[in-house]
Amino acid sequence: MKVDLNPFIESLRAPTGAPGGGAASAVSASLGCALYQMVAGVTLSLPRFTEGRGRLADIKAQATHLCDQFQVLSAKDTEAYLAVEAAMKMPRSTPEEKTARRNAMQEAFRSATAVPLEVVEAVVAALSLLPDLLKYGNPNAITDVAVGTLLLEAARKGASMNAEINLGSIKDQEFVKKSGDKLSAAAATAESLLPALREAAKATGITY
C-alpha cells in the first residue's frame, strides 16, 4: 500500500499517535527521491546533455523504485506503531497475561525499530545516487538536487531518532547493538556523500 498524500496529511494532523514522525520521515524521503527522478528526467529530455545518459536513466529508475518503497514504508511505520499501542493495551491481571503482554510488547518494539531502520538504509541507497546525479545532471537544477537531498537527510535523521527511541525499550542487547551499529554506519556513509553537493552548490552561489 502507498501513502495518498491528502488523506495522509489529515491523518498526520489528527490528535492520534499514528501516523507520526516515523511515517512523515518516510514521506519526506519519497519526496526527495521524486526530485532526484525529476532532475534525471529533465536532463534526459534535453539532447544537449550527451554524457552519462545511461547512468541518468539508471538513476531515474532507482529513484522511482525507492520513491515507491518509501511510500510503502510510511504505511508500515504507522502499522508498527499501532501494534505497539495494541500490545500496551493487552490485559495484565494474571502472571500469564503479564508475560503475554511483555512478549507482545518486545516483538512490537522490534518491528517498530525495524521499519525506520529500513527507511535509513533506503535513504543511504538514495543518497548514493547523488554523486553521479551531480556529475551528469543539468547543473541548472542544482537547487532541486539540494532540496531533494535535504528531504532525504531529514528522513534519515527522523527515522534514526524513531529507531533509537524504540531501542530503549528492547531487552535483546544483541539486537540493540546491531541496530545501533547500522544507524552509525548509515550516518557515516550519508555524511561522506554530502561534500560533493556542498561544493557544487557553492560553485553556483548557493549555500547547502
On average, the pLDDT of the chain sits at 94
Angle (CA) 8-69-140 rounded to 5° is 90
Amino acid residing at 76: K
Q: Higher-confidence residue: 129 or 3?
A: 129
How remote is the C-alpha of 122 from its chain's centroid? 6
Q: What is the pLDDT of residues 142-176, one digit of tens each?
A: 999 999 999 999 999 999 999 999 999 999 999 99
Residues 115/77, Cβ–Cβ less than 8 Å:
yes
Residue 23: pLDDT over 80:
yes
Q: What is the pLDDT of residues 60-106, one digit of tens each?
A: 999 999 999 999 999 999 999 999 999 999 999 999 999 999 999 99
The model carries a pTM of 0.92
Q: How far apart are CA 84 and CA 20, in angstroms?
A: 13
pLDDT for res 1 = 66
| Close Cβ partners of 77 (under 8 Å, ≥ 6 residues apart) | 18, 19, 22, 23, 25, 26, 112, 115, 116, 119, 162
Q: Average pLDDT in the 31-56 region?
A: 97
pLDDT for res 42 = 97
pLDDT for res 179 = 97
% pLDDT > 70, the chain: 99
Q: Average pLDDT in the 181-199 region?
A: 95
Supply the angle between the helices 21-44 and 95-127 in degrees, to the nearest 10. 20
Q: How far apart are CA 128 and CA 130, in angstroms?
A: 5
pLDDT for res 30 = 97
Residue 4: pLDDT over 80:
no
Q: How far apart are CA 21 and CA 25, in angstroms?
A: 6
Q: How far apart are CA 179 and CA 169, in angstroms?
A: 13
State the residue for C-alpha cell 529500513: 118
b/e burial code for range 20-29 (CB count within 10 A of at least 16 → b): bbbbbbbbbb
pLDDT for res 17 = 82
Q: Average pLDDT in the 32-41 region?
A: 98
